[in-house]
Amino acid sequence: MFKQLFGLAAILVSFCASAGAEERSAFGFEFTSIDGKPLPLKQFEGRVLLVVNTASFCGYTPQYQGLEELYSRYQTQGLTVIGVPANDFGQQEPKKEAEIKKFCQGAFGVTFPLTSKQVVVGDGAHPFYRWAATTLGKENVPAWNFHKYLVARGGHLIGSFRSEVTPDSTELRGAIERALSDKMTAAK
């Protein structure tokens, strides 16, 4: 009996350790793409991620254009922008996924990956957003649409940028360029 309990305890410790390790990296999380397919962040391992909660009917919606410009400019250097449509603020993303995709591609030429609609704040938030809130603190939780999280090539969070920080701001571009210049965990 003691051996069985000891064995079970060892399995649980091992499981918890691996789960905890995975959650310390953004690459341990998975979204669903806007097309309904799995979108594991692990596929972007070694890249810099800019994860942005988005909405179609927001005063910040024109930032889609700037996000696409960032993606186009820095994609070959290792940046991936990920748009996460959310209806959490002012009900400004009431559309269904197909409509969101059509709008983003048509109005702003978006080619970067989009996820399905997600909750980004509160107890029901997607696990990535709960992890980001725990990791960076309550002051870095999205307060509105187009909040940006910057993830280093190694998977750790290195920045949080409020909605009013535009994609073309020197603050955000500088942080992205610094992250891209860190080749320590680049392509394996």
Residue 187 lies in a domain: no
Residue 188 lies in a domain: no
pLDDT digits (tens, 9 = 90+) for 38-61: 999 999 999 999 999 999 999 999
Residue 27 lies in a domain: yes
Our count of domains for the chain comes to 1
Residue 186 lies in a domain: no
Residue 17 lies in a domain: yes
pLDDT digits (tens, 9 = 90+) for 119-178: 999 999 999 999 999 999 999 999 999 999 999 999 999 999 999 999 999 999 999 999
Catalytic choice (26, 39, 48, 58): 58
Supply the pLDDT for residue 184: 55
Residue 54 lies in a domain: yes
The CATH number of the domain where 153 resides is what? 3.40.30.10
Residue 129 lies in a domain: yes
Residue 6 lies in a domain: yes
**Whether 16 is catalytic:** no
Which range marks the domain in which residue 17 is found? 2-181
pLDDT digits (tens, 9 = 90+) for 62-101: 999 999 999 999 999 999 999 999 999 999 999 999 999 9
- 58 neighbors 92 (Cβ within 8 angstroms): yes
pTM for the model: 0.86
